[in-house]
Amino acid sequence: MANTDGFMDAALAEARDAAARGEVPVGAVLVLDGVIIARSGNRTRADNDVTAHAEIAVIRDASAALGQERLAGADLYVTLEPCTMCAAAISFARIRRLYYGAEDPKGGAVDNGVRFFSQPTCHHAPEVYSGLGETEAASLLTGFFRAKRED
Amino acid sequence: MANTDGFMDAALAEARDAAARGEVPVGAVLVLDGVIIARSGNRTRADNDVTAHAEIAVIRDASAALGQERLAGADLYVTLEPCTMCAAAISFARIRRLYYGAEDPKGGAVDNGVRFFSQPTCHHAPEVYSGLGETEAASLLTGFFRAKRED
């Protein structure tokens, strides 16, 4: 059985690290054959790059490490429901399974928003499992945005 | 009046260069205050990066050059209708105007597919102008895929 809890814990650790750097606290790990091959928090501020969401960061890092564009057979663990940009990138990378923590009604694109994986313009959809580590994933985000409002 | 034809010509030149490198021939330029600040063709193969579409490449390059995440006031010229991933990235980057060449019924996300800029989960939409350089943009793509099938 896959060590799903351990992998989501690793993604949550990346989210906490992102928060400590002043980034929106979302974290992700990419797993291939039971091994984490890339891990990252959201790093849009650090990189001055709106595309540097945790999911895109791990896809790019893993592809660079493996020297290949597509990541067939790889599983992505991310603490928040992927947005429209990341859902499409996950599809392009041929990710096998997507595990995500908290839903994102405002910006998500898997079970909310454009529901990209169910659209005719989506040409590969991963299996999706949600709710892992949801409580901690959501509380990291609400804590972060509450602190920002109080700044 | 903006030099829209000249900017789309520059994007088409990037698309032709991409084709010459064996990449899907899509090109883009990003313009700020009447000056091209980034130009790129699709480089997914060269970079081993499924996210390295021409639009993402110019957004990332421009942000790196300017040292800022968001590109408010910048206009993007791209030869093909942006896909779901790129439409969302364009929104995140706060691009002011999007000019695109050919429509993409199979993968586009502006006037086809998820029509992201009209969705409630899209929090910034650019003005959109389409059809500039459409004939050449489309013929580059059809020629590329015809040649691939004949390989």
The full DSSP string for A17-45 is HHHHTTS---EEEEEETTEEEEEEE--HH
User: Once rounded to an integer, what is the mean pLDDT over residues A49-63?
Assistant: 98
Residue B36 is inside which H or E element, if any? strand B35-41
Q: What are phi and psi of A123, to 5 degrees?
A: -105, -5
What does pLDDT average to over chain A?
A: 95
Calculate mean pLDDT across residues A100-108. Answer: 97
What distance, in Å, lies between the first and last C-alpha atoms of chain B?
A: 44
Name every residue in B having a CB less than 8 A away from some CB of A: 44-45, 48-51, 56, 59-60, 63-64, 66-70, 83-89, 92-93, 106-109, 112-114, 116, 119-123
Is A55 a residue of the active site?
yes
Name the β-bridge partners of B102: B80
* A74-83, A128-137, B140-149: segment of lowest average pLDDT: B140-149
What is each CA distance from B131 to A3, A147, A148, B59, B67, in whole angstroms? 50, 46, 42, 21, 32
Q: Which residues pair with B31 in a beta bridge?
A: B36, B75
Confidence check: pLDDT of B2 > 80 = no
Give the residue among B80, B88, B93 at the shortest CA–CA distance from B8.
Answer: B80
Give the ipTM of the model, two decimals please: 0.95
pLDDT digits (tens, 9 = 90+) for B80-120: 999 999 999 999 999 999 999 999 999 999 999 999 999 99
For residue B7, what are its two tokens?
A: 């900017």
**Residue A20 clears pLDDT 90, i.e. is over it:** yes
Neighbours of B135 (CB within 10 A): 10
Q: Does A72 score more than 70 pLDDT?
A: yes
- Least CB–CB distance from A50: residue in B45, B67, B89: B89
Average pLDDT over residues A89-117: 98
* Residues A33-49, mean pLDDT to the nearest whole number: 97
Which band of pLDDT confidence, cut at 50, 70 and 90, is reported for residue B1?
Answer: very low
Contact B54, B30 (CB under 8 A): no
Residue A40 · residue A27 · CB < 8 Å? yes
Inter-residue contact A135 to A108 (CB < 8 Å): no
A50–B63 C-beta distance less than 8 A: yes
Question: How confident is the model at residue A2, as a pLDDT?
Answer: 61
CB atoms B51 and A44 under 8 Å = no
Tokens 């942006």: give the residue. Answer: B82
Average pLDDT in chain B: 95
Determine which of B23, B48, B112 to mutate to test the interface with A (most A C-beta atoms within 10 Å): B48
Provide the pLDDT for residue A1: 46
Q: What residues of chain B lie within 8 A of the CB of A114, using their CB?
A: 84, 114, 116, 119, 121
pTM: 0.96
CB-defined contacts A:B, below 8 A: 107
| Percent of chain A residues past pLDDT 90, beyond the cut | 93
- The tokens for A57 are 């960061």
Contacts of A45 in chain B (CB under 8 A): 69
Looking at residue A42, its pLDDT comes to 98
What pLDDT does B148 receive?
84
A125 residue type, one letter: A
The pLDDT of residue A150 is 84
Question: Any bridge partners for residue B29, and if so which?
Answer: B39, B77
